[in-house]
Structure 1
C-alpha cells in the first residue's frame, strides 16, 4: 500500500504545475525553468522526469478525451477491486485501436514503482427541483443571481470574527455569473432563481458580497461565493425535511467509501458514495462567450447524486458533518470542492 497523499502530490506536480508554467513560458523554456515553490514536506521529482511524465499525460488528453486524474480502487469486470490505481477520467471510452496514444496499463513513477491505471468513463463534466419560493429560504432551495438562471442555496455562513452579518453560501457560477460575465458586489440575489420565476424586487433576499473568481487559464480549488442576507427572517439552518443542514465539525480529510448526502434544487435529497478525494478535473462552463474549460485540483468525486441546478448544494456525511460544496457533475459522477478549502478561501464558518 502506497502513501495516497504523496501520490496525489506527485500527480499535481506532473499535471498541474506544468500547466501553470505553460501559461507564462514557451514549451522550450518550461523544460529547464524553475518550478513553483514546493509544498512543505513534499518530495520533489527531477524537472526533466516531471516534464517527461507531463508530456505523456498531455498526449492522452489530446488523444482520448481525458478530463482528469485521480486515485481509487481499480474496477475490473464491473467489479471494484482492492487494488489502488491511478484513475484516468474520460468522457467516453474508445477502442485502443482507435487511439494514437492509448493509456498504458501501468505507470512507472519515481518512488512508487509500478502502479496500475484505470480508465473510467464519466461523460462530460459541467457546472450544474425544488423551484418554489420559500420563506424562510431553506438550504437546498432554488437561488440565483438576478440576471442568471438557478442553482442551489447551500447553507448560511458568517465571516470569521463578525457574528453580526449572515451570508448565503453557494457557487460563484450560481451567485455571481450574469449575462455578461461575473457580477459585482451588491448585485441582487433572488429566491427562487430567475429560471424558476424569481424577480426583482419581490424575491430579493441577499446581495452578492464576495466570490472566488473562476480562472480559465490557471488551476482552481473552489467555485464559491457568498451573498449577504438582507432580511434576517429568511435565514434557517433546517432543510425541507426538518433536520439541520449541517451538524458536527467539518470533514477535513474525506475518505473514499464514505456515504454522503445532499439537498438540491433539482434532485432534492439524494445519497452517494465518495469515489475519489484527490481528483484533478476539467470542467465545462457555459459563459456569455461560449463554453470554457476550467481546471480544478483537490476535488471530491462521488457517485452521481445531482443534476443541472443542484450546483451549490452542501454535501455532508449521513450524520450531517459538512464534506464538500457541489459544483459540477456528469452522467456518471458528482464533483465537489472540499468544504475546508471553501471555508478557508472565503474566511467563513457555517451557521448552525
Structure 2
C-alpha cells in the first residue's frame, strides 16, 4: 500500500473513531435528557456530559495503569487532563500540568518493559486494558440500569460514553500518536523484538531495572542514534550519563558540542522535548563545573519546574557540587542527602545508581580540595 493510500485509510479510520465517540456522547445526552436532566438547563446538561467524559477518561487510563501492573511493568508517568502523577518506590508525586500538545491526548500512562519478559505479551496486556476498562464500566452501568428498571438517565448515558470511548480507542489510527487499536494490531502481528527500532524500549527497560548507563548495550545506543529525531537526543543523554559515571569529562565536553549541533539543525523538531533538553543542558553544566572546578558554570541555567519534576535529584546535586567547590562540607552533605533520597525513591534503578556514583565523586572532590590546602568549612 502506497503512502497516499495509507494516509487516506488513516483519515477514514479517524472519521470512524470520531463518529463513534461523538455519536455515543450525543446519544448519552439524549438518554440523560429523557431522564429529566434537561429541566436543569443546557449548562448543567453540558457540564454533566463533560464530567462523565472526564470520568470515562480516568477509567481508561486507570485500565492502562492496571494493565501495566498486571504485566509487571514499572509505571513512570501518568497524566489525566491536567493531573500529572509520578509513581515512586514509596508513594506518589502529584502536580497540575497541561497535557503536551504534541501528544494530542487527554491522558497517557508511560510504563517501562521488564528486560526479563517478552515485550509482546506485556504490551498487549498493557494496551488492551485501557479500552477494556471502558467496556467493563459500560457493561456494569448497563446492568445497574436494567436492575433499576430504567434505560434512560445518567447510568445508561455513562454506559454509552464508556462504550464509545472503548470502541473508538480500538479503531486503528496512527500519525502524531497511535491509537490503542493500532498498537494492538502491530503487536498481534508478532514484530521482531530484537529489531533496531525497539532499541529505545530495550534501553529504557534495562535502565529502569537498575542497569547503570555505562553498562547499557552499546549497540542499542548506536541504533537509537541512527533513528529519526528525537531518538538521537535520547541516545546522547545515555552517553552523557555513562561518561559522568566513568569520569570522562573531556568526552562530555564533546557531547556538549554534539547537543548544540542537534539543536541548531533540528530546533523545531525538538520543541516537544524541551524539558529533556533542559535536563541535558543542566547535566552538562554540572559536568563542566566539576571538571573545571568552577562553580560559576552552574549559574548558566536557572531552576525549572519541569526539570525538577522529571529529574528531582539534579538541582540538589548541583547545589552539593557548588558547596563542595566552596569548601562547605556540611552544606554539601545536606544537599547530597536530599539528592540521594530523591534518587533512591525514583522508579528507575539506573537513575539511583548514577546519583550514588556522582555523590562519591563530589565527596572525593571535597577531600581533594582539603588535601590541596583549599579552605574547607568543617
TM-score range with shorter-chain normalisation? Answer: under 0.3
Greater relative contact order, per chain length (Cα 8 Å cut-off, separation 6+): 1
Q: TM-score scaled to structure 1, two decimals?
A: 0.24
Question: Greater strand share, 1 or 2?
Answer: 1
**TM-score, normalised via structure 2 length:** 0.22
Structure with higher helix content: 2
Whichever of the two has the greater Rg, that structure is: 2
